[in-house]
Every structure is written in C-alpha cells, then in structure tokens.
Chain A
Amino acid sequence: MSDYGYTFSMDQLWQIAGGQIILLIAGLLLIGLDLAWMGLDSERRTSRLGWVTVTALFAALGHVVYREWQLHEVVFMGVFSMEKFTAFLTATVLMAGIIASVLSLNYLHNNGRARGEYYILLIFALYGTVAMLQSVDLLMMFICLEIMSIGVYVLAAYLKDDCRSQEGAFKYFLLGSFGSAFFLFGLALLYGLTGTVNLTDMAVELSRGLFTRPEVLVSLALLMAGLFFKMAMVPFHMWTPDVYEGSPAVVTGFMATVVKAGAFGVFVKVLTVAFGPILYESGQPAFASTFHLAALAAYWKPVIWWISLLTMFIGNLVAVSQTNVKRMLAYSSIAHAGYMALGILAGNDEGRMGVLFYLFTYSLMNLGAFGVLFLIDGKERGAQTLEDYQGLGYRFPGLSFLMSLFLVAMAGLPPTGGFIAKFYVFSAAIKEGYLLLAALGILTSAIGAYYYLRVIYMLYMKDPVREVEPGPAAFPALAVLIAAAIAIIYLGVLPEDLAVLADTAQRSLALVF
C-alpha cells in the first residue's frame, strides 16, 4: 500500500519526481536564459525561450508517460502519490501546456508583445499544477495551488496597457485568494479534528467515527468551496467571464484547461480518498477502513447534485445571450465543468473514467477554439464579436473549418470526442440513478448546441458586415491546431484506446490508497 520512504537514492528521486524536476529546472533555466540572451531583440529571445519551454514540457511529458505511468506508490512521507490517475491528469495538463506554449509563440508575435517572462510564468504555473495533482496532502495541495494561481494571476494581467486585462486579473486575484482562504480554513479545521492533513491518514481517522460530526461536514464544505472557485462552478463562477474575456486569448485557453484540470483532479482525489469510499463495480468499498465513509458521501452528494445542475443551467443559458465569442466560450467552459461534476457525482468507475476522458478531450477542443479565436482576432480584441464572424467561412475556409469543428465538438455532436465524453459522464450518472439530473443535463446540452451552432451559422450563412483581417498563422501553431482537430475526430470514432487508459488510470486510485 503506502510506502512512507524517508530515504531514497538519487535514482529513485529521479524515478518518482523526474517530471517535477524537469519543470522546475526548466523554469529556473528560462530565467537565466532570458538574461543571457539580453543581446537579442525581445522577439527572437522570446521565441527561443518558447521553444525551450516546449522542449522541457515534452521531456516532462515523456517522463510521465514512460516512468510515472508505471509507478504505484505514495512517496516523500505521504506527501506525493504516484499512480496512474495522477499520471493521466499530469499528462493531460502537460499536453495542454505544450499546445498553449506553441500557440503563445504565434500569439505574442501577432500582438507584438513578446517578453521573456511570459514563458517563465507559464512553466511555473504548470509546475504548480503538476505538483498539486501529485500531492495527497492538503497543505502541499494548498501551496501548489497558490504557485499555480500566482503564476496565472500575472499571466492574466499580461496585456499591460490593456485595461480589461488588468481588471480581469485583479478580479481573479481577489476572488481567487478569497477562495483559497476558505480552502485553508477547511484545512485548519480538519487538522484540528483529525490531527493530520494527509488524505490517507485522514480517511482512517474519519472512519473511526468522526465522520458524522457536523464540524467535519463544515470543514468539508469549506474545502469544497475553495476548490469550486478554481473549478469555476456556479455559484462561485462570478469571476470567470470577466477574467476569461480580459486575459490574452491563449492564457484564457490555458486557464480553462490546465487550471480546471488541476482543480478537478484535486477535487476527485479529496472526495474519493478522504471523504468517500472508492467503490468497486460490485459496490464494495476498496478498504474496510473506508467503509464508513460511504455515509459521509451521502452528505456531499446532494451538494454536488445541485451545483452540477446550476452550473450546467447558468453556464449554458447565459452563454446564449453573449455577443462576444470569447465571453461566450467562458460561459461554455462553466457549463462543461457542470457536465464533469456529473461524473464525480456518479462516483462509479465509469463516472471517474468519464471525467478523465472529458478533461482530456475538453483540453484539446477548448485550446483549439481559443487558438483559432486569436488567429481570427488578428490583434487582441480585434474581431471577437459574432458580427465580426459573419461571412468568414468563405474568405478564410481553413480557420473557419477548424473553428466549426472545435465548436461542434464542444456542442457534443458526433463524430467528435466531445460527444463520447458527454456520453460517458451522462451514462455513468444514469447508471447510478441520477435520471432527473441527467435528463436536465441533456436539456441544457441542447441549449448549448444552439449557441455553438449559431457561430457556425454566422460563419457560413451570413454576409460579411465588417472587414476582418486575421493575424498571420505560422506553421507550428497551425500544425498544433490541426493535430488537435485530428485527435478530436479520432477520439470520436475510436474512443476505446483512451477510454481503456482512463479506466486503468481511475482504477489505480483504489489500488494505491
């Protein structure tokens, strides 16, 4: 089960923490290189730093896929856990990071805003996310959450002379730290109640009879509120549209995928490891010690039921009335969080597998959509309204096609991965008897299809009203977008490969804890 190793060799250290080490060293290296290449003009320096970032992320991804995927233990005195569930999410996050970095090269060039610190912040934010996903200790989770958040706050404010970017970033900062304070208070109360902040030890302590005490429920509610802020669940979503609209488009894509995947991963870990039993298909808990936690799950499930419903409804309904495509995508990303919460609510094998599958496909389609959005934009806030999109379909067939494909995937129509992902989470919820919620969810999904397809309608069926000049698209960015598009179609036609991987990944949660 748990290997609480106090000493380890350098080789073991590399085995278990290689991914983190690569990211950390790369981040420090970037700071040095930014200085060392002072002689170059800022454009060339930044693009070099960008490629160093991409290389480092590929190296870290390779380590996660080939080494960490094989691991199966709790390390560093129970602070980090290395198992397939974490490895799957880490790989998803790193993949999203690679896409975002490659797109950033193009974005910074188009906007004439190339500065070295962009990639330094990006890689440290990614480091925080990866470390947060790997931790099974509330304190470590909090620290890594903050490493991630602080990096993203500054990235959101990256457009220094743009008032909207500043305003969005400041709102994000205020509400983000407000949310973290709740997480922290929950942590402190749980430490007082159980004497530990380690999730595995906490599960043991809680199952000894603490689990029905109201204090435990209060602290769980505080922890969940803190994470809901980061996941952008209604009613903790107020910051999302403003921040997503204000931030640079690629950073918005980064926030909507990497930060969300990180928060969801942590959420699943907290709920399944410490506050709910990991059930096998037969309905039996994985460990006798977690048996009583089934009673605890009965308390948090109704909360997630309502939050999931509200998130799906408000996300989709408000998105309908948006005229700015970027803001519309912000509301749509809120709605997607609602669908994913459905998988967590189901809490069975298929639900957890569905959440992993959903996060993977969602990362691809969301970053893809924001990638095309900034290309059409030309310069930030150049052409983001529905009006601007009118009639682009025939003038820029390539970009319009990609945009349509990503939107169709987000609407959850076959033959895309978005459809399969929705299918998994909804069928998991139905299996667990949440028929009403699943039906309402599918209804909101139909509302969602309306505003996604409206953009495609604008692209192809309307006459242009405004002269729109997309920015130049370099080969790497286009290659990444096309690869994402192909991957989405592939996942829609042949989802088994990824589904099997995701299922193996979620099963490892029950095996390691």
Chain B
Amino acid sequence: MVTLTHYIVLSTILFGLGAIGFAVRRNAIILFMSIELMLNAVNLSLVAFSRYRAELNGQVMVLFIYAVAAAEVAVGLALLISLFRHVREVDVTRINILKG
C-alpha cells in the first residue's frame, strides 16, 4: 500500500538530491537540471497532497508551476548561451570575472 507518506518522503528525497546537485556539480547545464528536479519534486508532493485531500487545487497549482518553470528555463538557457558566447565555458567555477 503506497500512502501519502511514501510520496512525501520520495518528493523530499528528490528535492534534496536537486539541492545537493546544485551545490556540488559544476556544469551549468546540470545545475539547470537540478533546479528542474527540485521543482518537479514539489509538483509530486502537490499532486500527492491534492489526492490525499480529495480536491483539485493542488493539481491546478502544478499546472501553474509548469508554466512558470518553462518560462524560467527558456530565459535561463538564453542567458547561458549569451554567457557562453563570451566565455566558451560551462564550468561555473571557472566563470569568475566578478569577484571581491
């Protein structure tokens, strides 16, 4: 029997993996994927809560979050390409002109 707890634990693990990935990986594309993983972990928990409470609000929220995440990624990839044109580099630890 898969209960609400299972879903929430899974979603927390996914969210944690995303956060850890964001902290330890250095490739900008992987950082993107980590953020997406975090957002989708949230979506999973919203759907689980929505099912548990037997109402649709949570699932509607997921649609909103999808739209926002899509817009965010579109802008983010554009920014990455624009940056890549200058530095020819996707390793975020080596993109460090600004410091101090």
* A residues apposed to B, CB below 8 Å: 139, 142-143, 146, 150, 153-154, 157, 160, 163-164, 166-171, 173-174, 177-178, 180-181, 184-185, 187-189, 191-192, 195, 197, 241-242, 245-246, 321-322, 324, 327
Contact = CB atoms under 8 A, between A and B. Distances in A.
B80 interface: yes
6 contacts: A146-B71, A146-B72, A184-B39, A185-B15, A185-B41, A188-B49
Nearest to B47: A188
Given A160-B82, A167-B87, A192 B35 contact: no
Contact of B99 (A139, A173, A174, A242): A242
Interface in B10-29: 11, 15, 18-19, 22, 28
A167 B98 contact: yes
B37 to A, nearest CB: 9
B46 A188 contact: yes
Q: Which interface class (under 10, 10 to 19, 20 to 34, 35 or more) fits B?
A: 35 or more
Nearest to B8: A192
Contact of B42 (A178, A188, A195, A321): A188
Contacts of B52: 192
Contacts of B83: 163, 166-167, 169-170
B68 A166 contact: no
Contact of B75 (A150, A166, A168, A184): A150
Leading 6 A-B pairs by shortest Cβ distance: A192-B49, A181-B38, A242-B98, A163-B86, A166-B83, A146-B68
Contacts of A146: 68, 71-72
A178 B45 contact: no
Given A153-B75, A157-B79, A181-B42, A327 B61 contact: no
B72 A177 contact: yes
A189 B79 contact: no
A164 B64 CA distance: 33
B2 interface: no
A173 B22 CA distance: 13
Nearest to B48: A192
B39 A181 contact: yes
Given A146-B71, A188-B46, A167 B100 contact: no
A454 B48 CA distance: 57
B98 A185 contact: no
B42 A164 contact: no
Contacts of B53: 192, 195
B100 A322 contact: yes
A472 B87 CA distance: 32
A184 B98 contact: no
A166 B79 contact: yes
Contacts of B28: 170, 174
Interface in B44-66: 45-46, 48-49, 52-53, 55, 57-58, 61, 64-65
Contacts of B82: 157, 160, 166
A177 B79 contact: no
A192 B98 contact: no
B18 A181 contact: yes
B38 to A, nearest CB: 4
A297 to B, nearest CB: 26
A164 B68 contact: no
Given A167-B96, A177-B76, A327-B100, 18 more contacts: A139-B64, A146-B68, A146-B71, A150-B72, A153-B75, A157-B79, A163-B87, A167-B87, A173-B75, A174-B31, A185-B38, A185-B42, A189-B45, A192-B48, A195-B55, A197-B57, A242-B98, A245-B98
